[in-house]
Amino acid sequence: MESLRYLCVITALHCCLWRSSCGKIIYSVSEEVNKGTVVGNIAKDLKISVQELESRILQLVAGSNRKYFDVNLKTGALFVNERIDREELCFAHQQCALNLEAVIQNPHSLYRIEINVLDVNDNAPYFVDNVITINITEDVVPGARFHIPVAEDNDIGINTLKDYKLSKNEHFSIDVQTEEQSVSAELVLQKPLDREKQSVIPLVLTAVDGGKPAKTGTLSVIVNVLDINDNWPVFSKPLYKIKVRENVSVGTKIISLTATDLDEGTNSDIIYSIAEHGNIKKQNLFTVVPETGDIVVKGQIDHDINAAIELRVQARDKGSPPKSTQCKILIEVMDENDNAPEIIVTPLVESVKEDTKSGTAVALVTVSDKDGGKNGIVHCAVKGLFPFKLDTSYNNHYSLVVNGPLDRESVSLYNITITAADEGTPPLSSSTVITVHISDVNDNAPHFPAPVINAFLSENGQAAGLVTRVSADDSDTHENAELSYSLLDSSSSSVPITTLININSLSGEIFSLQSFNHEEMKRFQFQVMAIDSGVPPLRSNVTVNVFILDENDNSPLNATGQTAVSAGTALQ
């Protein structure tokens, strides 16, 4: 059949190497139409004469939807070439469209064709199961509702499921609820049941769609009327409270429950079970013996994870249908001292200067204990004697602070043991070691081995000769112990000392700057200062006495001041 046709605006599309015009034609066709059914006339809608179709080589581009349609090049008619099933193509989607592309040469043009597939009522409603059974006890009061399965319909729109109808009977009616996406129904009891009069009630539920003519699907509903089990099991009390120690052995019985049922026979036989409630992990800690009601430990009970556990136990009779009731068990888990304290130390500095004042914090200490009550009360302390102590910041938080003078030259590193113990019986404890490095400050001046150094120098020696070497040490480290030496004039010196000697500032070696004559200078004195590189620098001095040693470099003189001639020379 020919469907409605819509011609959209044709727009121009420029591609990379050639120019084509691109348009879109929209047609509609019903599903399940016969092969050869004309959908529309492409030549007419593209305003192309029939004579041009063959010369311009009109063809549909190959694709997944190409098989469903073809074009009569003599008439320009687009027709159905293969069976179209909307449900197969689009399932339950409201919109179902097939897209094609048509190409015409001379000049080259590309057109898009969109064909909307319209639904027809070709599917009847159906139920997943053909028969269902509903068991209803004879004591159910009128007004009770019973769920019945929802029918399916693969059609859409007006052709889909619209209503339910129930076969005529004296006990039940049907209540149909229509929602935006579905239509459901419930059986409603109108008249009390009597198993002794009729134990089985056969019903037929019919699902009806909105097609014209309507299609239907049926479901057989078998209602079994059951004998009355009209007494519920009853526990001796609705709430039980017990205490259980953590770490109790698996298999330990913690309580026995008892429920009774006033019915007789199987209707009074009780089966116990753990009812699903709350945290599944808590339920897995216990099990119940179905026949006796004994609650038995099944898993590891840990107060630190569950300080209190609530269980619900169900007692169910063997009636048909069974009746059940529940009781609640509140279990208080008694703590055992099974967790040692944990200590976390957070250093605040990499090292502590030796002049750090008392009360300065060097690290933070946090202790914790997973136990509760006294078992979780923790006391923390420094083990041994150290110039450090723990100050309480707030609950279980401490500061490790300086608590006395520090001297790097005496102790440069402290390994401080911190212990934590709880108040459990017996108590549990743990410890950790924090290493505190003491860093240097410039608190030591250079030190010479003696306050005075005596040096001896032969007269007539050559200039630049080594006179002596001075050396000081410094108890500090690094730049605080890096020394340099310099000369200081003695207050009694008549000539500048720097004209007589020179000193190597790094090695402390002292060299003469001239040759000395014992007859002219027998001794001279000066000071050497050693200074470190600290900030501020520290210094110290040493006195150096240089004695000029005499040599036999002068002949004897006579009374007249002339050189005396030896007897051996006179004889010659």
From 151-165, 187-201, 266-280, 284-298, the region with the lowest mean pLDDT: 266-280
pLDDT the model gives residue 74: 85
pLDDT the model gives residue 567: 41
Domain 452-549, architecture per CATH: Sandwich (2.60)
Has residue 456 got a pLDDT over 50?
A: yes
pLDDT the model gives residue 560: 63
pLDDT the model gives residue 491: 60
pLDDT the model gives residue 21: 38
Which helix H or strand E contains 540, and what residues bound it? strand 539-549
- Residue 17 contacts by C-beta under 8 Å, 6 or more apart in sequence? none
Has residue 499 got a pLDDT over 70?
A: yes
pLDDT the model gives residue 282: 62
pLDDT the model gives residue 279: 59
**Fold matches, 5-118 and 237-334:** yes
405-424: average pLDDT = 93
The CATH class of the 131-226 domain is mainly beta
pLDDT tens per residue across span 538-549: 999 999 999 999
Token reading at 222: 């078998």
- Residue 213 contacts by C-beta under 8 Å, 6 or more apart in sequence? none
Q: What is the mean pLDDT of the chain?
A: 86
Instruction: Give the up-direction half-sphere exposure of residue 9: CA atoms within 13 A in the CB hemisphere.
Output: 3
pLDDT the model gives residue 543: 93
62 burial (CB, 10 Å; 0-12 / 13-18 / 19+) is exposed
From CA 68, how far away is CA 62, in angstroms rounded? 11
Nearest to 351 by CA among 479, 480, 475, 441: 441
Distances (CA, A) of 95 to 24, 28, 501, 554: 18, 11, 111, 136
**342-439 in CATH: which number?**
2.60.40.60
Q: How confident is the model at residue 105 (pLDDT cuts 50, 70, 90)?
A: confident
Residue 442 and residue 537 in contact, taking contact as beta carbons nearer than 8 Å: yes
167-172: average pLDDT = 95
470-497: average pLDDT = 88
488-515: average pLDDT = 87
155-163: average pLDDT = 84
Distances (CA, A) of 212 to 159, 160, 161, 337, 464: 8, 11, 12, 79, 131
From 30-44, 92-106, 167-181, the region with the lowest mean pLDDT: 92-106
Give residue limits of the domains in the chain: 5-118, 131-226, 237-334, 342-439, 452-549
Q: How confident is the model at residue 379 (pLDDT cuts 50, 70, 90)?
A: very high
Distances (CA, A) of 142 to 134, 216, 230, 290, 396: 16, 29, 17, 35, 66
From CA 25, how far away is CA 5, in angstroms rounded? 8
In this structure, which topology does domain 5-118 adopt according to CATH? Answer: Immunoglobulin-like (2.60.40)
Q: How confident is the model at residue 42 (pLDDT cuts 50, 70, 90)?
A: confident
Q: What percent of the chain has pLDDT over 90?
A: 51
Has residue 383 got a pLDDT over 70?
A: yes
326-343: average pLDDT = 91
Number of Cβ within a 10 Å radius of residue 340: 19
Amino acid in position 56: R
Peptide bond into 321 cis (omega under 30): yes
Has residue 145 got a pLDDT over 70?
A: yes
CB neighbour burial string for 363-397, b if at least 16 within 10 angstroms, e if fewer: bebebebbbbeebbbbebebeeebbbbbeeeeebe
47-62: average pLDDT = 80
345-350: average pLDDT = 93
481-510: average pLDDT = 88
Which helix H or strand E contains 45, and what residues bound it? helix 42-45
Virtual CA dihedral for 242, 246, 249, 253, nearest 10 degrees? 10
pLDDT tens per residue across span 3-24: 333 322 222 222 222 223 346 8
477-493: average pLDDT = 86
From CA 329, how far away is CA 314, in angstroms rounded? 11
pLDDT the model gives residue 56: 82
Q: How confident is the model at residue 492 (pLDDT cuts 50, 70, 90)?
A: low
Has residue 413 got a pLDDT over 80?
A: yes
459-483: average pLDDT = 92
pLDDT the model gives residue 92: 67
Distances (CA, A) of 162 to 178, 185, 217, 286, 533: 8, 11, 12, 51, 100
Nearest to 339 by CA among 263, 409, 277, 424: 424
pLDDT tens per residue across span 202-227: 999 999 988 889 989 999 999 998 87
**237-334 in CATH: which number?**
2.60.40.60
360 burial (CB, 10 Å; 0-12 / 13-18 / 19+) is middle
Number of Cβ within a 10 Å radius of residue 160: 21
Helix, strand, coil percentages for the chain (3-state, nearest 5): 10, 45, 45
Question: In terms of pLDDT, which residue wins out, 68 or 234?
Answer: 234
> Could you tell me the pTM of the whole model?
0.48
